[in-house]
Amino acid sequence: MAGNWRKSRRSQAAGNNCVETRLNGSYAEIRDSKATASGTLAVASSEFVALLESVKLVRWLAWGCMAE
Residue 50 lies in a domain: yes
Residue 41 lies in a domain: yes
Residue 14 lies in a domain: yes
pLDDT of 50: 94
Looking at the predicted structure, is the pLDDT value of residue 32 above 70? yes
Residue 1 lies in a domain: no
**Residues of the chain with pLDDT > 90: what percent?**
38
Residue 48 lies in a domain: yes
Burial of 5 (0-12, 13-18, 19+ CB in 10 A): middle
Looking at the predicted structure, is the pLDDT value of residue 38 above 60? yes
Question: Which residues span the domain enclosing 46?
Answer: 6-67
Are 41 and 31 a contacting pair, CB within 8 Å? yes
Looking at the predicted structure, is the pLDDT value of residue 12 above 70? no
Residue 56 lies in a domain: yes
Domain count, the chain: 1
